Structure 1
Amino acid sequence: MSAMQDYYYWSFIHGVQHKKEYSLIHTNHDGTEVWFDYNRRGEKTTFRVARKTFSWENDFQKDQVLALERAEGLRKQRFQRRMTFHNIYVMDFEPLQYEGNEQKNLQLKKMKVKVERYIGEQVYKMESLFSLLDLAAPNVERYSEEELFHQAHQIRYEVLSKIDAERKEEEKLFQYGKPFFTYIFLAAQILMFLFLEWKGSSEDPLTLIEYGAKYNPLILEGEWWRFFMPIIIHIGVFHLLMNSLALYYLGTLVERMYGNARFLFIYILAGFAGVLGSFVWTSSLSAGASGAIFGCFGALLFLARTNPRVFFRTIGYNVLALIVINLIFGLVVPGIDNAGHIGGLIGGFLAASIVSLPKKPKLYVQIPALVSTILLVMGLLYYGFYVRTTTSDEPYALSLANEYIEQKEYEVAIKSLDSFVERDTNNALIYYLRGYAYAQLKEYERAEQDLRESVRFNSNFHEGYYYLALLNAELNHIDEAKDNVEKALAIEPANKKYQNLQRKLNG
């Protein structure tokens, strides 16, 4: 190969390596093909520069097609609407024409393509390319052919040494630790699923609540451990399967990057943040490792903040695509707890910011991240416990209380409704169901008090008056019982139960 072509090529790659405006995407093992992005005035252009020589024009055209196919794949991976692609060749001589079938070029409507060839002694024309990309053009006139050869060899050595060092640094980044806690969490959620199936069903709300699923009324009662327990609880085998696969692939990647202790902190904090987000913004029963798994995404996003070049050259676009797809999926498919996903994503990013990457402490990032996390968690907990209205939680709580009562779990039914009463709800059904449960436990005075509240909040609640009359009679409050059954009959005069009770009281 010509010393001049080598000198221009390696000088060009050396310049690209050492300027921040350029983001290297790919280099082959010997550095003779380099892909990079050039950002200028907010416009990104992708370059591929190759030091190659082709014997036949047909081979040259094949190489162009392969490069275009790869560039188109890159455009799609990045979700770019349009792409400008420069394909640059530094060659020793023109390839020979081939009289056989010509290779067809790809016609790509969403890509603006420019192919440039710098051949033989005309390679000096590359000086205009150096100027276009704000690189210093090499001065070849001061060197002899032999000196050019040695200079090209020296620059090539520097370029390949830097490429090799960056590759080793990337390998270290993704191979710091060996997965351990990922497998512990996988085993824990599988064993928990089998336990729930043994106890009843992993899809039974009562079983889920009994063993730790996120249920707002019980969290409001002080069961703080429900912020953590849902991380290993799953609702149905499909839910378990999907989250286990995601944890296996994402968890092992994050644990290799951050090490065991950091991963444990990230996973637990992200899982807690996911449950906290769900507690604050949704009222439904929920469980699953999704928040913690989104926390793994958040930990990977931290790499984008600290080392964007490595992030986008390796896993970046795939990670961003998966996050967007999962969030959109959560918005369009009913029953998915997107608040938990977003909470986990933010929690994972903050947790990664607190611990930072191994051997790369950044206290100016870690300390503000720790303070911000503490303040955010305290603010959300205060909002969830003392500011947020529980009205949206009431319909689900009532349906579950009904199920508890049907299964004669009266104490659990009462406990599930206590937090609403403590927050001075005006929902008559809350007091009615709790009063009914107290009555079944023969706590008649408490039952009577709740039923009085139920008819106070709904003066047309005839069933409330009827059961209150029954309790009045049980407590020997006969006059009050007569008054309440009359009120029930005034609303439902044809009701036989009410008529029979009135006759019995008057008899």
Structure 2
Amino acid sequence: MTVWQHDLYYWQLVHHYVIEKDFRLLYQKNKEVWLEDENSKPKRIIRIKRADFDWGNQLKKDLLETVKRADLLRRQLKQKKIESDTIYVMMYPPVDSWEELMRPFYLGKKQQTMMKMTLIPSELTEREHVINGILAKDQIPSFPIYEDVDMAEVIIGRLKREVRQHTKKKEEEERSYFLYGKPIATYVLLALIAVMFYIVEQNGGSTHVLTLIEFGAKYNPAIIDGEWWRFFSSMFLHIGFIHLFMNSLALLFLGGAVERMYGTSRFVLIYFVAGLIGSIASFAFNAQVAAGASGAIFGCFGALLYFGISHPKLFFRTMGTNVLVILAINLVFGFMMPMIDNGAHIGGLVGGFLAAAVVQLPKQKARMRQLLFLVGTVILAVSLYGLGFVNEDKQLSSLLSLQMAQEYMQEGRLYEAYPLIYEVLEEEESAEAYFLLGYADYALEDFQEAKDSFMRAVELQPSFHQAHYNLALSHYRLGDREEAIAAVEQAIALEPNEESYQTFLTEMKSISN
């Protein structure tokens, strides 16, 4: 066979693997291509090269360089192991010994990368023997042989063009999954969140519990009383600038990616369904006042996971590993930090996955699957909502009640603080509750009740230096100077650097003298 017939055979092989076998073209230059079989396990890489080597050591050198490149490719593709084939289309084999190169080459301590060489000879009978033997699994047909060089050049041109068009079409199809829509809703949501943060900051502060409740944070007693709209309003509130910044950054990247993949209308549904289920899960499992877009943002993770299930090869080749690692870090961090509402995170994650399955990707059509996931989403939301009414572990916590009582007192709303303090004391003997009760009584000039409360606080927590000091103040108001001195000295023993304690002691001693 002539040189140009070998060139034609080379392109016939490439065309067969790309068009007929649907291998992905990784690299093509001159008369060498690298192809990937995405469906094989472990991953299979094929290198087809049109070359002639006079000597075996030249062939060996090329093979050694090839296996190194294959190992680099394995790492780029994030594969634990790959199998590689190098297929040489040659006019003639090297003139010296080369048969030992037919054994597989391995690279890596655990032999993660394996390279086998196949040499396709010019003799037709030998070629058929190789095709039906070593490469039998690739089902390579007997390509037509052309004797006219002009015709062969025409065929080569057509094969090149079809390979190029097929590759370009696949690349455009893959890109289309990530460029279906524009992140319009993402920017609108970011703007609304920023505006709400500004409004809350101007009206009491985003770290002020009462202000957050007033503006629609998730507050279980209010939800139980029928304020279900808090499931949605809480998604636009954030507690402090760091919380706002981190969630906005996550929404910008995750929300933008999901909206580009699913389109604006589908993204909005995914976002709010995920946020709703995240809020309901927080209602079911978390007693604290909660706010933030975290549940909806984790819903974006869920939507990406649904894409990964629908298109696993494309998912893991592009974003998959990064998405899973970031998601795992966030979940682990959530379990480690008690103040993080992991119920909302996990609820949003599941809700986002279910919502994505309901709306489907733009080019998907699976009506029965949509219906099943819709039913599942409704069942999950209703079940979590019902659990929120019966789960005693999520009822208003002592810590939250005392925090709210303290904020009421700071605003001078003492009579609104009393019920919260008494609720805590009905559940448990708390030094902090008695301290706040004494503080409220002292402010209302009921010094005897204040003294009793502060005394109970120091009995429960002897190291509570603020209670000792306020007990001293109560004794003083009741005319018990000796008791006041003893109490403030105890406060100083616990906190010697507090100037107000020292000043009060000096005043008491001067009065006694």
Pair in the same fold by TM > 0.5: yes
Is residue 25–residue 35 contact of structure 2 (8 Å, CA) maintained in 1?
A: yes
The verdict on how the C-alpha distance between 1:414 and 1:86 changes in structure 2, with shifts beyond 3 A counting, is farther
Partner Cα distance (1:334, 1:26) in 2: 49
Alignment of 1:246-261 (within 5 A): 246-261=250-265
Identity of aligned residues (%): 33
User: What is the identity, as a one-letter code, of the residue corresponding to 2:7?
Assistant: S
Unaligned runs of 5+ in 2: 1-5, 53-57, 97-104, 457-473, 480-513
Residue 272 of structure 1 deviates from its aligned partner by 1.5
Residue 217 of structure 1 deviates from its aligned partner by 3.1
1:312 is aligned to 2:316: yes
Correspondence for 1:355:
359
Partner Cα distance (1:386, 1:433) in 2: 31
RMSD: 4.4
Tell me the SS of whatever aligns to 1:335: coil
Unaligned runs of 5+ in 1: 18-23, 98-104, 443-450, 452-461, 467-494, 501-507
1:185 is aligned to 2:189: yes
The counterpart of 2:9, out of the listed 1, 4, 10, is 4
Partner Cα distance (1:279, 1:5) in 2: 65
Residues 145-193 of structure 1, C-alpha deviation per residue, up to 9 Å, x if partnerless?
Answer: 6699888777766655443333232233222222211001111122222
Alignment of 1:334-483 (within 5 A): 334-390=338-394, 393-410=397-414, 413=417, 426=427, 463=453
The verdict on how the C-alpha distance between 1:255 and 1:303 changes in structure 2, with shifts beyond 3 A counting, is same
The verdict on how the C-alpha distance between 1:234 and 1:54 changes in structure 2, with shifts beyond 3 A counting, is farther
Is residue 89–residue 121 contact of structure 2 (8 Å, CA) maintained in 1?
A: no
Which 10-residue stretch deviates more, 379-388 or 398-407?
A: 398-407
Partner Cα distance (1:361, 1:354) in 2: 11
The verdict on how the C-alpha distance between 1:385 and 1:26 changes in structure 2, with shifts beyond 3 A counting, is farther
Correspondence for 1:33:
34
Residues 183-216 of structure 1, C-alpha deviation per residue, up to 9 Å, x if partnerless?
Answer: 0111112222222332333233333333222233
Correspondence for 1:136:
139
Alignment of 1:41-60 (within 5 A): 44-53=41-50
Tell me the SS of whatever aligns to 1:228: helix
1:83 is aligned to 2:88: no
Residue 36 of structure 1 deviates from its aligned partner by 2.8
The verdict on how the C-alpha distance between 1:52 and 1:326 changes in structure 2, with shifts beyond 3 A counting, is farther
Which of structures 1 and 2 has the bigger CA Rg?
Answer: 2
Partner Cα distance (1:428, 1:359) in 2: 61
Is residue 270–residue 348 contact of structure 1 (8 Å, CA) maintained in 2?
A: yes
Correspondence for 1:118:
118
User: What is the identity, as a one-letter code, of the residue corresponding to 1:217?
Assistant: P
| Bigger RCO of structures 1 and 2 (CA < 8 A, at least 6 apart) | 1
Partner Cα distance (1:89, 1:414) in 2: 84
Is residue 24–residue 38 contact of structure 2 (8 Å, CA) maintained in 1?
A: yes
TM-score by length of 1: 0.70
Is residue 51–residue 90 contact of structure 1 (8 Å, CA) maintained in 2?
A: yes
Correspondence for 1:280:
284
The verdict on how the C-alpha distance between 1:96 and 1:197 changes in structure 2, with shifts beyond 3 A counting, is farther
User: What is the identity, as a one-letter code, of the residue corresponding to 1:65?
Assistant: K
The verdict on how the C-alpha distance between 1:400 and 1:50 changes in structure 2, with shifts beyond 3 A counting, is same
Which 10-residue stretch deviates more, 284-293 or 145-154?
A: 145-154
Partner Cα distance (2:420, 2:118) in 1: 77
Residue 292 of structure 1 deviates from its aligned partner by 1.0
The verdict on how the C-alpha distance between 1:61 and 1:235 changes in structure 2, with shifts beyond 3 A counting, is farther
User: What is the identity, as a one-letter code, of the residue corresponding to 2:43?
Assistant: T
1:74 is aligned to 2:77: yes
Is residue 254–residue 300 contact of structure 1 (8 Å, CA) maintained in 2?
A: yes
The number of aligned residues is: 429
